[in-house]
Structure 1
């Protein structure tokens, strides 16, 4: 495999490179993956833009993660704490949980472009009527493995312990661990860096499913180039994954208390709007809840997350179009400056999941206050 260089610098660029953390208007440092031919570095030098090479061969980072993950493969049973599980194992585990009765019920959001089920669990305690819904949407970007793992970890906590039954008395949780199953499988079998879906568009594959929602479609932070990582798709909801998810949310929208889109990386706790200037009408409440979330995360592992405005379309769509007023996106570890970006050793799954759940729970427990 061709080696790559991973750079961090202070610039805004539209070069055809893989930005792990997007350049921002305030010229904050960003991280990008560039090819070995060096054209991007030449452009930075020509513009007198400062940068440093932090990883000379990014494949070595991927290999290190793979070795760490493979060590867990021989263990008996589904590993929630230390392993990035395959799509097949995830689906099998969710079906097992859903068929056991009790708190969880298995369902399918719909089918992906390549025909895979998009699995989810509805988790609540028996009894009660007209419970409000909490959505966790995870794995929309294929390469963000720790986001998938964190949602699975939360699922296990809700199902196998009684610690959070107070939440299940009040809410039903709909947790979608792998909204982009085709892309997720592709990252496990072909290209660990893959971000998009796997639909076919001319010579290139896939669209960025988080830019495929019908909220200011293909405007902020999106591309019309089918070969770009942020290609928005042929039209809003052109991707069967986002279309099916939007339809599932719509069936519950009038009774949904909160929507949480789980990503990595950047250590951010975000809320609308991402597609236009100004603050939403309930900005003060969203901001207050975000601070409750980051404070709970800080108290867990002394890791700093930052409240911010969400970039992307899922949260804006459910907020603007479906009128779900409590919509958040969380970017898990590592922080923006980390040279490995979305690659995270599986030994961090449990601490990352624990702090994220504590932050999310702090928000959920205060949604109606």
Structure 2
């Protein structure tokens, strides 16, 4: 595998003249800015910039962490002027987003030819929604007593949304449940990749993970937003799409499915503008994809002990609340489980996650799935934001292997803490 990745950049260079075409992100730059405090004037300026998404996209802007913002070529002079006015420390981390995305698209296309689906999903490349569905179907055929696939709904464009339930095969019913999902936001490809790796670990390494399956079943929905996920794989122009694909107005498409849940829906941190990336939808659960997740949460709420939704990018382990600065009464339990994941990852790879409530650590995000699951009865509910790669949301395929293995280390540690802390009644 090392040889492939040594040769791949040379292949891209040799093909760049014939394959690279200017796309909608040509000339866009990504700046990384140090924000000193949550309430600083610069933090407020970033909040205002995020409202002008025709020229700016603020990828991250949480207090104490570097903020990244993608800027349209026509606004770069004004942006630099704004940074200078605030005496901000900043650097350019990507000088041409369009060129980066075009090269990545060509690489991904070559990898699909080099590594066709063969019954297993490795870490050599990103896989389509159809390939992921086929993978879990094939697992169910191979392990008919341990793996069960169920179609739980359809997306707006009628793609089948399937869960895979993983057990140890002992046939016992009414075990506790860990519910996991990925792929809420279309461009966050590393999320479904991490979920697929998690599935493989639980299925293929039963002896090693017997403690995680003795009294617990795992129910996993690999891709919540299949329409958006497939759309991002069409071209470099569509790679940064975030939302669903159902028209939200006469001129705009899509809703942020992670602002569409019926718990403090359409409050702070969500937008009423159908064109915005954080558009909450016309009503709670207006998106069939969010409704599927909501139904899953309620289906397992009586047995569910941990809900985990994987996103990028962070690195963060976030717990409720996302709609308020208030903390749940059981915040110590939430923090204890999150700390187990933090410690395991830090020891294994040196990556340091940030732990805390969504609102206090990152930003206000009302109407999200983690708050909904926690309110529905899951004792532990987390959003895990994986580390950045590439321009932020687009780690190259060469990063998949180490990122998903690192993520599994944290998930397994948190699950072991949950299994110990919440034994089967």
Structure 1-normalised TM-score?
0.93
**How much does 1:157 deviate?**
1.2
How far apart, CA to CA, are the structure 2 residues paired with 1:144 and 1:341?
9
Determine if the alignment matches structure 1 residue 358 to structure 2 residue 421: no
Q: Please, which of 31, 39, 52 is the counterpart of residue 7 of structure 1?
A: 31
Structure 1 pair 139–28 and aligned structure 2 pair: CA distance change class (3 A): same
SS in 1 for 2:214: helix
1: distance between equivalents of 2:145 and 2:345? Answer: 30
1:317 is matched with which residue? 372
RMSD of aligned residue pairs (Cα, Å): 1.9
| Residue equivalent to 1:75 | 115
Matched, 1:330 2:375: no
Indicate whether 1:30 and 2:30 are aligned. Answer: no
CA contact (8 A) 2:156 2:245 kept: yes
Q: Is the 8 A contact 1:109 1:245 kept in 2?
A: no
Contact 1:108–1:117 under 8 Å retained in 2: yes
Q: Which digits, 9 at most, give the CA deviation of each residue in 1:208-266, with x for residues without a partner?
A: 00111112112232111100111111111100000111112211111101000101111
Q: Find the counterpart in structure 2 of residue 287 from structure 1.
A: 335
- The C-alpha deviation readout for 1:164-214, integer Å capped at 9, x for no partner, is 122122211111111000000000014000000001111100000011111
**Distance in 1 between residues matched to 2:413 and 2:181, nearest whole Å:** 18
Change (3 A) 1:236 1:265: same
CA contact (8 A) 2:177 2:303 kept: yes
Whether contact under 8 Å (2:308, 2:381) holds in the other structure is yes
> Which aligned pairs between 1:260-275 and structure 2 lie closer than 5 A?
260-275=308-323
Give the Cα separation in 2 of the matches to 1:145 and 1:23.
Answer: 21
Distance of aligned partners of 1:65 and 1:275 in 2 relative to their CA distance in 1, 3 Å threshold: same
Contact 2:390 2:396 in 1 (8 A): no
Work out whether 1:344 is the aligned partner of 2:395.
Answer: yes
> What count of residue pairs does the alignment treat as equivalent?
363
Partner-residue secondary structure (3-state), 1:200: coil
Runs of 5+ consecutive residues of structure 1 not aligned to the other structure: none
Matches within 5 A, 1:163-312: 163-190=208-235, 191-202=238-249, 203-310=251-358, 312=365
RCO greater where, 1 or 2, for CA within 8 Å and sep 6 or more?
1
TM-score normalised over the length of structure 2: 0.81
The equivalent residue for 1:155 is 199
Instruction: Please say which of residues 93-102 and 202-211 is displaced more in the overlay.
Output: 93-102
Between stretches 192-201 and 61-70, larger displacement belongs to 61-70
Q: 1:71 to 1:164 in 2, by over 3 A?
A: farther
More helix by share: 2
User: 1:22 Cα deviation (Å)?
Assistant: 3.1
Structure number with larger C-alpha Rg = 2
Task: List structure 1 runs of 4+ shifted beyond 4 angstroms.
Answer: none
- State the distance in 1 between where 2:58 and 2:156 align: 25
| SS of the residue 1:21 aligns to | strand
How far does residue 72 in structure 1 lie from its aligned partner after superposition?
A: 2.9
Residue 33 of structure 1: SS of its match in structure 2?
Answer: strand
Give per-residue Cα distances to partners, 1:335-368, cap 9 Å, x unaligned.
Answer: xxx6711110112222111121111111111124
Q: Which residue of 1 aligns with 2:10?
A: none
> Tell me, what secondary structure is at the counterpart of 1:201?
coil
CA contact (8 A) 1:135 1:174 kept: yes
1:133 to 172, 177, 182: 177
The equivalent position to 2:100 in structure 1, one of 61, 79, 104, is 61
